C-alpha cells in the first residue's frame, strides 16, 4: 500500500474520532504503587466505568490525601500545548521523582461523579473532607497526616482564544502544584476530572464549532495537523480515482501476478496430505505382506487329533 493511501486511512480514522465531541479528558496521578497498566486502558470510556475502575485501584487506601479537582469547559485539545499544564504533564511522565502511577483517558463519555468518589474515600479510607475555593487562589494549609479528601472546583474555562485558555490552565496547574507542595505527607492521589467545552478555541477570536484533539502530546498533535495540510490538496480529487487506477494497473498485469495460486495454506495442506498418504501406503503394504498358512486355523482336539496328525 502506498504512503498516500495509508495517510488517507489515518485521516479517515481521525475524522471518525472527531465525532466524539461531547467528551473530555481525565488525568490520574498517585504516589502509591497501584500496579496500573496504562497501555491496557482504552482512550474512549464511559464515565461510570472509569469511576468504578478508579475506585477499584484505590481500594487499598495507600494514599493519605486524595485530591479531586474539577475543570469544566475543556477538551483534550486544550492540553495539547506544552505550556497548558507543565506540572501535570511532568507528573504523568513520572519525571518528578514522586509519582509512581499515572494514566490519562482522552475521551470520557459522560461526567465523572466526583461526589461518588468522595463518598467512596470517606467510607473505604475513613477520610475527612476539605473544600478549596480555587476562584480566590487561596487555601488552608494542612498540618496533620490524617486521611482526607480535598475537593478543588475550578471555574469553567470560558476564554475564547486558545492563548487565553492555555494561560488559564497554566494558572490552575500552578495552583494544584502549590497545594500539593503544602501537604504534610507526599503520599497523595490526584484525580483531575473535566467536562466538555461548548466552544472551540481559536487563535484570534471566538469560534462557533467545537472540535476535539485526541492526541495529548505535542508531537502527535503537530504530526496530525501537518498530515492533514499535506493531503488537503489531494483530497479535492474524486475519491474513486485511485480505485479505478488501481484496477486498471492490476488488469494489465500477467495472470500469475494478478492472482496467487500457491498460498501458504495450500502449501501446508499438501504437506499434510503427503505425510498422511505415505503413512497409509506403508500400512497397506504391511497388511498385504502378512502370510498365514491354513494349518494355523485348524483346531486340534485332544489325543485323537494328535494321533490323526501323526498318521498323516
pLDDT over 70 at 243, yes or no: no
pLDDT at 157: 86
Continuous H helices in the chain: 3-17, 47-57, 86-92, 114-125, 162-181, 218-230, 241-251, 255-258, 264-288, 302-311
Q: Structure pTM? A: 0.58
pLDDT over 70 at 229, yes or no: no
Identify the burial level of 43 via C-beta atoms within 10 angstroms of its C-beta, where 0-12 means exposed, 13-18 middle and 19 or more buried. middle
pLDDT at 88: 92
Taking the CA atoms of residue 118, residue 124, residue 130 and residue 131 in that order, the dihedral angle to the nearest 10 degrees is 0
- Are the CB atoms for 62 and 187 separated by under 8 Å? yes
Point out which residues pair with 301 in neighbouring strands. Answer: none
Residue pLDDT, tens place only, 180-203 = 988 888 899 999 999 987 765 555
pLDDT over 70 at 33, yes or no: yes
Q: Which of 150-159, 160-169, 215-224 has the lowest mean pLDDT?
A: 215-224
The average confidence (pLDDT) of the chain is 75
Higher pLDDT among residues 39 and 72, named by residue: 72
d(CA 201, CA 44): 22
pLDDT at 254: 63
30 pLDDT tier (thresholds 50, 70, 90): very high
d(CA 288, CA 290): 6
pLDDT at 75: 87
Q: What residues contact 125, with CB distance under 8 A and at least 6 apart?
A: 61, 66, 147
d(CA 212, CA 84): 16
292 pLDDT tier (thresholds 50, 70, 90): confident
DSSP string, 12-75: HHHHHHTT--SEEEEEEEESS-----GGGS-SEEEHHHHHHHHHHHTTT---SEEEEEEE-S--
pLDDT over 80 at 143, yes or no: no
pLDDT at 234: 47
Residue pLDDT, tens place only, 159-169 = 778 888 999 99
Point out which residues pair with 192 in neighbouring strands. Answer: 27, 69
Higher pLDDT among residues 126 and 14, named by residue: 126
Amino acid at each position: 500500500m502506498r504512503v498516500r493511501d495509508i495517510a488517507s486511512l489515518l485521516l479517515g480514522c481521525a475524522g471518525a474520532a472527531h465525532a466524539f465531541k461531547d467528551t473530555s479528558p481525565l488525568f490520574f496521578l498517585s504516589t502509591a504503587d497501584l500496579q496500573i497498566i496504562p497501555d491496557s486502558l482504552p482512550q474512549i470510556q464511559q464515565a461510570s466505568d472509569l469511576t468504578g475502575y478508579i475506585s477499584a485501584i484505590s481500594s487499598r487506601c495507600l494514599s493519605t490525601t486524595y485530591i479531586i479537582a474539577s475543570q469544566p469547559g475543556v477538551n483534550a485539545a486544550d492540553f495539547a500545548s506544552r505550556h497548558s499544564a507543565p506540572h501535570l504533564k511532568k507528573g504523568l511522565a513520572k519525571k518528578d521523582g514522586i509519582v509512581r502511577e499515572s494514566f490519562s483517558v482522552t475521551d470520557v463519555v459522560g461526567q465523572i461523579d466526583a461526589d461518588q468518589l468522595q463518598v467512596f474515600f470517606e467510607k473505604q479510607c475513613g477520610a475527612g473532607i476539605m473544600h478549596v475555593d480555587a476562584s480566590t487562589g487561596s487555601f488552608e494549609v494542612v498540618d496533620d497526616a490524617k486521611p482526607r479528601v480535598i475537593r478543588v472546583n475550578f471555574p469553567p474555562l470560558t476564554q475564547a482564544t486558545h492563548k487565553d485558555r492555555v494561560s488559564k490552565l497554566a494558572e490552575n496547574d500552578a495552583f494544584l502544584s502549590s497545594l500539593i507542595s503544602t501537604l504534610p505527607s507526599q503520599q497523595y492521589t490526584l484525580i483531575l476530572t473535566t467536562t466538555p467545552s461548548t466552544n472551540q478555541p481559536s487563535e484570534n477570536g471566538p469560534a462557533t464549532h467545537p472540535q476535539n484533539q485526541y492526541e495529548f502530546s505535542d508531537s502527535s498533535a503537530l504530526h496530525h495537523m501537518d498530515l492533514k495540510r499535506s493531503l488537503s490538496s489531494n483530497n479535492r480529487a474524486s475519491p474513486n480515482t485511485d480505485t479505478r487506477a488501481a484496477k486498471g494497473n492490476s488488469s494489465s498485469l500477467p495472470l500469475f501476478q494478478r492472482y496467487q495460486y500457491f498460498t501458504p495454506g495450500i502449501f501446508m495442506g499438501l504437506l499434510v496430505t503427503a505425510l498422511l498418504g505415505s503413512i497409509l501406503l506403508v500400512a497397506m503394504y504391511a497388511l498385504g505382506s502378512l502370510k498365514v498358512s491354513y494349518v494355523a486355523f485348524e483346531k486340534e482336539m485332544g489325543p485323537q487329533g494328535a494321533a490323526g496328525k501323526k498318521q498323516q
